[in-house]
Every structure is written in structure tokens, then in C-alpha cells.
Amino acid sequence: MLDMIIDLWITSGFAQLTLGHIVMIIIACILLYLGLEKGMEPYLMIPIAFGMLLVNLPGVDLMVAPTDNSPGGLFYYLYQGVQLVIFPPLIFLCIGVNIDFGPLIANPKTLLLGGAAQFGIFAAFLLAVAFNFTGPEAASIGIIGGADGPTTVFLAGQLAPHLLSQIALAAYSYMALVPVIQPPIIKLLTTKKERQIKMEQLREVSKKEKILYPVIVSIIVILLVPTSATLVGTLMLGNLLKESGKVPLIVNALKDSLMYVLTIAIGLAIGATASAELFLTVEVIKIVTLGLVAFAIGTGAGVIGGKLLCKLSGGKINPIIGAAGVSAMPFAARVVQKIGQEENPNNFLLMHAMGPNVSGIIASAIAAGLFIQYFAG
């Protein structure tokens, strides 16, 4: 009986626990708390954190590759959608269905803010090179600054597959932490008076404009940067399906069912790569730090661009909408709306912020295309 108890203990996960496992379990539990209790982007945070928790429980083999004697773990197969860059274009298709380009069409000047916010990508790229990362690795790290998880996975999967899990985890974590990271930067770079600026209601955009927009953008952007075709093409196709009004069943399936299935699948897959052996390294610390710097610079550059437009418009544009130029949609736009209403209860900036927000998605996809064209072309 004693031998059975000893054998049970030896084969249990408790006997195999290391300090690294314990640290990662604690981190996973903190992230779960933020998602469950604080409501911090739960659709992303909960699956990422739970995947991280499961993979750091000793004895769990959910990420094991298939062999002649084993079919492989569940998370191994989910991760193939990440590693083979299958999930990112599908997610872009779903995002396209959820996007309304109306605010951007109504106020095309906000396109500049989406572009300005991508400055963080290129700043972090240069910093990563200075940290002795190779060009392709630096590009994959820099794209974190766009706060666009699917684009980050897409680029890292092609240019730096050996760093894919670490980079993807950093990107999705920062997307989930947008409500924490952005407000201090926005308030630091703007005055209370600027944050109180009330913007005029946008003009109504016609159905014809909305249908033509994804077609025109696809032609211009893909001809300009052919390597952006996968992401830009699927994004615009999704939007065209929605605006056409001809395929409501497909639109509903993409908007709801497929989007949520892909979100939980990619969240679990990314979280499950955060094993103690892989995550608790100096390299990961560098990637996470550079990703944060990229995101902070991108947010700041968007706000500074907003301040410039504010001055050029004679004070008609609230500069904080520039923070939504990072691609984290609709998280960044919601942050702008929240801050705007805190300063002025009659201020409704959500639709105004959606202009730079959706343009940021296009801009980050173009940036990824440029990196692929340069390093893999």
C-alpha cells in the first residue's frame, strides 16, 4: 500500500513542480483574474491565461507532437493554425465583417492618424536591431507595436518562426492590456482642454461608397504592396460581404460563430506555448520589453498626430482619437471614448476614433507586407 502511495506521488504533477512552473502558474492566475474579475478583454485574456495555466502543469502533454504511438496533444493541433498562418487571414475575414469604414470615409483625414500610430513598429524594429536581433526577427518584434495579433502571427510565422510563440504571446497580451497601457500615455501627452474637445457629428456615408471602398482599397494597396494581399484581401472581402447585403447568413456566421471559435482557438494555442522553459528567458524579456516600447511609441505618435490635426483644423479634432490609430480594434477606440466622456460627459468620440482605428489595421497590414517584401521577397 505504501509503495502504491509513493508511486502515485512520484508520477503526479506535484512531484515534478519546479520554481519555473510555479512562477508561470502564478502569472497565468493573475491574467485569469484580470480577465474574469476585472473584465480586461476577457475574450482574449481568458483563453490565453488558461492555455498558459494548463501547459505549465507538470505531466500535461497537450502540446506534444504526434508519434507512431501517440496521436499528439490537442493544443499541438490548434497551434498548427498559428504556425502555418492559417488563423490570421481567417480572423481578418471576420474582422472585415465587423468593420464599418463609414467614419473613415466620412473623415478621410483620420487615415493619417492610423499611419502615424505605426511609427512604433519601425522604432521598435530599429531598437530590436540594436539589441542584436536579426532583421527578420526585429521586424517580427516591431510589428507588435501595431497591437494587431493576427498581423503579428502572420509576419512572425514567415520571418521568425522560432520566435513565433514568444512574439505572439506578447502581442496578444498587449492587445488585452490596451485599457491599462494607453490611458496614462494619452493623458501625459494631452491637456484637459484638448481632451474635452467635442467633435461634430460625421456626415452620413452612402451605401454605394461603402461598397466601393473595399474594392478600391484592395486594388490600390495590393498593387502598391503585393505582399499585403493575404491580409488586406481577406479584410476587404469580409467588409464587402457585409456591405453588399446579399449574403446575410455568411456575414452572421463570420461575425459571430467563426470569429469566436477562432479567438478561443488562437488564444489557447498562444497561451499553451508559454511554458516555463520557453518563457522565462532573457530573450523573452527583451521581446516583451521591445513590444511594450513599440506599443507605447505607436500610441504616443498617434496622439501627437492628433494634436497636429487639431491645430490644423482650428481645434475641431480631439487629439486623443489618434491613440486609436493602433490596430487594436475596437479596444483602442473604446479607451478613447471612455477618456473623452470622463473629461466631458457630452463627448461621444467612439465613431470618430473608429476612423483611425480601422485605418490602423490597414496600415499595420501594409507594414507587415513591406517587411515580408524586403526580408522574404
Q: What's the whole-model pTM score?
A: 0.88
Identify the residue whose cell numbers are 453588399: 244
Q: In the predicted model, is pLDDT for residue 244 greater than 70?
A: yes
What rounded mean pLDDT belongs to the chain? 90
**Within a domain: 162:** yes
203 CA to centre of own chain: 29
pLDDT tens per residue across span 12-29: 777 788 889 899 999 999
What are the angstrom distances between the C-alpha of 199 and each of 30, 187, 288, 316? 38, 18, 36, 6
- 25 within some domain: no
Mean pLDDT of 261-276: 88
Whether 8 is covered by a domain: the verdict is: no
The structural domain count of the chain equals 1
Q: What is the mean pLDDT of residues 58-86?
A: 86
- Residue 49 is assigned to a structural domain of this protein: no
Render pLDDT for 105-118 as a digit per residue (tens, 0 to 9): 999 998 899 999 89
326 within a domain of the structure (yes/no)? yes
Cell numbers 467588409 correspond to 239
Q: What is the DSSP string of 174-216?
A: HHHTHHHHHHHHHHHHS-HHHHTPPPPPPPPPPHHHHHHHHHH
pLDDT at residue 377 in the model = 62
Residue 66 lies in a domain: no
**CB burial of residue 11 (10 Å; 0-12, 13-18, 19+):** exposed
The whole domain housing 108 covers 88-375
Domain assignment of residue 365, yes or no: yes
- pLDDT tens, position by position, 132-145: 999 999 999 999 88
Torsion of CA 235, 236, 237, 241, to 10 degrees: 110
